Amino acid sequence: MNKFYLLCFLFNTLYATAQGTADSVYVQASANKTTVCSFDTIQLTATGGSSLSYPCSYSWKTSGGVLLNDTGQQVQLSVGTIIASDTVIVTITDTANNGAFDTLIITNGNIGISITNNRPALIQGCHSSIDINSKVSGYTLGRDYNWSTGISGAKASISVSAANIVIVTVTNSVGCKDTDSIEVGYQGVTNKVNFRLPSEYNHLIQQWATCQLPFKNISVPCYPPWKAIFDPTGTGSDNIIYTDGTSIMVYTYYPAGTYHAKLTLDSAGCTFTKTRDVVIIPMPKGKWCEQNYYPEEDTTTIIPIMNSSNRINLFPNPTTNELHLSLSDFQPDFASIYDIAGRKVSEMKFEPVMDISALKNGAYLLELRKGNQIARGKFIKGD
């Protein structure tokens, strides 16, 4: 009897073991991040195996059927393969062909933001402000707004002093972000005011007296109606008013000196102003405008120093230590250098390469002489 019960016990144990083999393969999927942003790379991990320690293999794919190249227990997935929220499936198989699978939902955490105002956003009135409104889409949990003006929240109130390009960035709780921007100006006027001379060097405008100077208005275009008020001397005594949207403003300076030219854009009393220094240099012995000298009363022949397409060339200009001269049929004997006040600061025998390292930074007039012939040209000494 005891032998019979013992045999029954052994049979039941072996049967139970055999029956449990088919259920011994298991797998569980996890990820370091399941809500993801564009261009994220996440790590997927499969925890599993066989209770009988059979070797196992793994395969990964998305619910759309995209196979992942890696077949290990840990794989990396680029979010670029997921357009919307998707499911990742991992399957485990042992050498006895027993298998199991698990799924993991990957959520698209991208967030979007758009500014809803008309573009450009225009402030009505000099002492007014405008609300810039935005709306978000996508994964919006825990969103935080950051405006370039230092304001937080879905709406920003922009005042006169802040009118410009306004940028807003929104970030959600999983770190996804998006950005939008808008130009904010005034009805009829812009605060991006600027002007220059075509021959301007660095930020200092230096020109010869008695020459007609064409200033160019390079302001961001205004919204009509508007007018430009150009004050070339900074005194208000010679204001030139333009109402035709012109970009070229012309003025002739006579006494040498420094003037504070000012351009004001005005619309219905809303004004923005740009001021720049204009240094006017006296003209020694004659008048020269736009690279053309006018003959003096004596018989001296004035030859302009032209650009590289002509017979006399000055280079580099501006320069630091050396000034090179390329000459054709004019062979001078002497060279003189004058400063902006008309004072002679250097005189030497002519050489095609001149050492000007001892000169202070600034604008100069070079005069080349041979008998009763003179060639003149200006250059700038800088660092």
**pLDDT confidence band for 299 (50 / 70 / 90):** very low
Reported CATH class of domain 22-108: mainly beta
Distance from C-alpha of 327 to C-alpha of 304, rounded to nearest angstrom: 12
**pLDDT confidence band for 11 (50 / 70 / 90):** very low
Phi first, then psi, for residue 118 (nearest 5°) are -65, 150
Average pLDDT over residues 164-173: 90
CB 176, CB 38: distance < 8 Å: yes
**Which pLDDT belongs to residue 75?**
85
Any idea which of 277-291, 309-323, 355-369 has the lowest mean pLDDT? 277-291
Secondary structure of residue 116 in the 3-state scheme? coil
Domain 291-381 belongs to what topology? Immunoglobulin-like (2.60.40)
Neighbour tally for 43: CB within 10 Å: 12
The answer, yes or no, to whether residue 272 has pLDDT greater than 90, is no
Amino acid at the residue 354: M
Q: Of the segments 8-22, 23-37, 129-143, which one has the largest average pLDDT value? A: 129-143
Q: Give the residue from 120, 181, 185, 192 showing the smallest Cα distance to 159.
A: 185
Q: What are the sequence ranges of the domains in the chain?
A: 22-108, 111-186, 195-281, 291-381
Q: Which letter, b or e, does each residue of 243-256 get, where b requires 16 or more Cβ atoms within 10 Å of its Cβ?
A: eeeeeebebebeeb
Phi first, then psi, for residue 378 (nearest 5°) are -105, 150
The answer, yes or no, to whether residue 35 has pLDDT greater than 50, is yes
* DSSP bridge pairs for 61: 67, 89
Residue 373: which residues within 8 A CB-CB, separation 6 or more? 300, 301, 303, 330, 332
Q: Using alpha carbons only, what angle is made at residue 53 by residues 62 and 94, rounded to the nearest 5 degrees?
A: 35
Phi first, then psi, for residue 14 (nearest 5°) are -65, -35
User: How do residues 85-101 score in pLDDT, each as one tens digit?
Assistant: 788 899 999 888 889 99
Any idea which of 146-150, 157-161, 287-291 has the lowest mean pLDDT? 287-291
Phi first, then psi, for residue 160 (nearest 5°) are -55, -45
* Upstream peptide bond of 232 is cis (omega within 30 degrees of 0): no
0.85 exceeded by pTM:
no
**Which pLDDT belongs to residue 114?**
95
Same fold: 22-108 with 291-381: yes
Distance from C-alpha of 287 to C-alpha of 136, rounded to nearest angstrom: 65
The average confidence (pLDDT) of the chain is 76
Pairing label, strands 270-281, 205-208: parallel
Distance from C-alpha of 378 to C-alpha of 305, rounded to nearest angstrom: 8
- CATH tag, 195-281: 2.60.40.10
Domain 111-186 belongs to what topology? Immunoglobulin-like (2.60.40)
User: How do residues 127-140 score in pLDDT, each as one tens digit?
Assistant: 678 899 999 999 99
More confident residue, 8 or 100: 100
Question: In this prediction, what percent of the chain has a pLDDT beyond 70?
Answer: 71
Residue given tokens 């009118």 in the structure block: 163
Residue given tokens 């050498």 in the structure block: 95
**What tokens were used for 343?**
């004072």
User: How do residues 50-99 score in pLDDT, each as one tens digit?
Assistant: 888 888 889 888 777 666 766 788 888 776 645 567 888 999 998 888 89
Q: Using alpha carbons only, what angle is made at residue 354 by residues 349 and 360, rounded to the nearest 5 degrees?
A: 110
